[in-house]
Amino acid sequence: MRRLLFLLIFVLNQQLAFALPVSKQVTGVISQVPFIIKSDDYLVSFNYKDTFIIQTGRLQLFNFDKNLGFEFDQVLQVNQPTESKPNLETGVLNNQQQIYYPNDKTQKDKLLLDTSLVYGNILTIVWVDKHSNIVQKFVFVCSKMVPKVVGFRSFKGIDGTSQAYKARRLNKNQAFPIEFTRLRGKIIETETNGYLELIIHKPNLILDSIVEYRIVDKKGAGQIKWSKAGHLITLNEIKSNSNFFIELKYRNQPESILVEIITLKKFYQKLWFIAIALILILAIVFLSTRWYYKRKLSSLNIQRNRVEDKLKMLQSQLNPHFVFNALSSIEGLVTAGENELANQYLANFSLILRETLRNMDKILLSLEEELNLIDKYCKVEQLRFGFQYRIVIDDNINKSAIELPPLLLQPIVENAIKHGLAGLGKNGFLEITINQKENNLEILVRNNRTNAYTNIPTAGGFGLKYLNQRIVHFNQLNPDIPISYEFRLFDKEAISIINFQNCFL
Q: What is the pLDDT of residues 175-226, one digit of tens each?
A: 788 888 899 888 998 887 778 889 888 888 776 678 899 988 877 666 678 8
The edge-to-edge listing of strands for the beta sheet with 227-229 is: 187-190, 257-263, 242-250, 211-217, 227-229
Domains 149-269 and 275-500 alike in fold: no
User: CA angle at residue 493 from 488 to 494, to 5 degrees?
Assistant: 30
Element (H, E) at 213: strand 211-217
pLDDT at position 64 is: 83
Distance (Å, rounded) from C-alpha 503 to C-alpha 494?
Answer: 25
Q: What is the 3-class SS of 125-190, one letter each residue?
A: EEEECCCCCEEEEEEEEECCCCCCEEEEEEECCCCCCCHHHHHHHHHHCCCCCCCCEECCCCEEEE
Distance (Å, rounded) from C-alpha 193 to C-alpha 84?
Answer: 62
User: CA angle at residue 285 from 283 to 291, to 5 degrees?
Assistant: 100
Q: Which residues contact 66 (CB under 8 A, 6 or more apart)?
A: 7, 10, 11, 14
Amino acid in the structure at residue 181? T
| Other CB atoms within 10 Å distance of the CB of residue 364 | 16
| Other CB atoms within 10 Å distance of the CB of residue 18 | 8
* E strands in 10-169: 25-30, 35-39, 43-46, 51-54, 57-63, 74-77, 89-93, 99-100, 111-117, 122-128, 134-142, 149-155
Amino acid in the structure at residue 85? K
- Give percent of the chain above pLDDT 90: 16
Distance (Å, rounded) from C-alpha 267 to C-alpha 273?
Answer: 7
Alpha carbon distances (Å) from 54 to 18, 70, 77, 121, 122? 23, 20, 18, 10, 10
CA dihedral 102, 103, 104, 110 (to 10 degrees): -140
Are 496 and 445 in contact by the 8 Å Cβ rule? The answer is yes
DSSP letters of 245-309? EEEEEETT----EEEEEEEPPPGGGSHHHHHHHHHHHHHHHHHHHHHHHHHHHHHHHHHHHHHHH
Q: What is the largest CA-CA distance in the chain?
A: 174
Are 405 and 470 in contact by the 8 Å Cβ rule? The answer is yes
Counted residue by residue, the chain has a size of: 505
Alpha carbon distances (Å) from 245 to 210, 213, 222, 241, 270? 20, 10, 9, 14, 22
Predicted TM-score (pTM) of this structure: 0.49
Distance (Å, rounded) from C-alpha 144 to C-alpha 366?
Answer: 101
Phi, psi of 52 (to 5 degrees): -110, 140
CATH no., domain 149-269: 2.60.40.10
Phi, psi of 69 (to 5 degrees): 70, 25
Distance (Å, rounded) from C-alpha 69 to C-alpha 17?
Answer: 5
Residues of the chain with pLDDT under 70: 1-23, 83-86, 103-109, 157-174, 207-208, 220-223, 304-323, 325, 360, 451-463
For the chain, which residues make up each domain, given as ranges? 2-142, 149-269, 275-500
Distance (Å, rounded) from C-alpha 343 to C-alpha 16?
Answer: 146
DSSP state of 417: I
pLDDT at position 434 is: 93
Q: Report the CATH fold assignment for 275-500.
A: Heat Shock Protein 90 (3.30.565)
